[in-house]
Structure 1
Amino acid sequence: IVPAQTHTATVHAVELVGATPIFVDCDLQTGNMNCERIEAAITINTKAIGLVHFLGVPCDMDQIFHIADQHQLKIIEDCALAVGARYKSKHVGLFGDVGCFSFYPVKHITTGEGGMFVTRHSDVGEQISKLRAFGVDRSHSERNVPGKYDVVALGLNSRMSEMQAAMGCQQLNKIDQILELRTNNFMELKARLSDINGISILDADHPNKVNAHYCLSVLLHDDLKDYRDKIIAGLKEAGVGTSIYYPHPVPRLTYYKNKYGYQKESYSNAATISDCSIALPVGPHVISSDIDYISESFKKVIGKIV
């Protein structure tokens, strides 16, 4: 079971191991999978729940754990946009059987490419260590005889270089500062946009959740939703960079639509986020004067439309 609203990589991982992705719609308030729909999607063939902490907002882990326990399912956490996010003071990625993080250039911390895999199961960790290095049964440091090894699985070359790791470790030392800046920027920009009619902000206003604030996603409502492209163009003209997370629900992408079909009514919330949202930057590079400019530019562009 996977969210309909996510990056395609989440679902590719399911396809690449020969499993079948079962898509579940999301909540409009957070973008995370709707727990009631997770339960409804479970069959006797279901093996795991592959959840995504969308844009850094933690999922409702208590509910998901309850569902997984009832049906004896594994939990895989996609934390690509959620470094630093917490649920009941516990870091996301540490709840499920495995957690996956991305260190792509636009993430909270970067190693240029690559990521991190965490698990509480030692046998799974050992298997992943082999699969990331061609299926070789031991690393260089573990070989009693130099050059002597065996291949025990069909693995890939997914190893991170020492230079990439060093870059990541240095940023990891600054992660608290990075997260604080993101949180401050998010809250300030959210406050500046609060007087605009016809919009809402994807967020988790819940005492159990600490948002990692990957970006600030504005959801357009009412008449504004028909002018998303014009608003983006107006912001671009003003020098304000934007993005969309994500431009299509995964089941609407050509590969998945051709293979499994697509019914908009089954993923109406995911489609709404794809078609009616605009993501604004809140990263540590953004300073207070930028927040002023972004919010004022947003209001000016909307003012010209309405």
Structure 2
Amino acid sequence: MFLVRTIMIGDVVGDPGLEVLEAKLPGLIREYEADFVVVNGENAADGFGMTEPTLTRILAAGADVVSSGNHVWEKREFWPLLTGEKRILRPANYPAGAPGRGWVEITKDRENTPGSPIPWLVINLQGRDFMPAVDCPFRTFDAITGLHGYTSPKAHDPLAPPNLPEIPDKLQHILLVDFHAEATREKESLAFYLDGRASLVVGTHTHVQTADERILPQGTAYITDLGMTGAGNGIIGMDTQICLNRARTQVTYRMECAKGPPVIQGVVAEIDRETGKAVSIKRINR
């Protein structure tokens, strides 16, 4: 069995998140001998969106790909980078015409093992329950993977044509999915729909790490939410008093990042390169 390891890190929230990412991610990469790293950065710029400097800091900390979500549009001056820098993703299921890309294919050698390239396919999707109206994440995944020679297994889609093949014995890529969504039911539904076709499916957006990491029946590793990377003594990384005022008065006070001791949260997963199936998943909470 030829195992590869990937780390996926939950939403980076403001300067506290950037600082703890820079302090801790390089050590985590060494500790777990990670071959590939994905970081969700959509809240890196003062809690809302990204800027070129925040993206540069995340990549310099060790991220191979930076995923995002609905807040990626907050800083309009960042939009050209969504198109110009292939390592930054926005959810793929925004309608045609939205800037940027929702998936990327990267082939990367293993550390200290040149000549052993591993193809990684990272797909960023956004949910529709309690979220802005976007295209179907299920059909979007099928369309993207169809470009790479994958097909939708009929076992997961009762409406699919009967001539579709079953789950492939071997994935061409190590296939990672960041599903930026609000509803647990929608996240789990997508994970089971992708079971056997993706190596790792993680939820982001709620900033609260869940304790349901597991390997699904067909070999896909899954967790409902990675958590967040930022000040650990706030409310989802934001100032506690402001959040309380908003909740109690329903007045939309301007949100600000919390201060105090930060945390970095996410998962590390081991994946069998020969089959693309996950063999382990472990939470990171430092």
Shorter-normalised TM-score: what interval?
Answer: 0.3 to 0.5
Give the TM-score, by structure 1 length. 0.34
Bigger radius of gyration, 1 or 2? 1
Give the TM-score, by structure 2 length. 0.36
Whichever structure has more strand as a proportion of its residues is 2
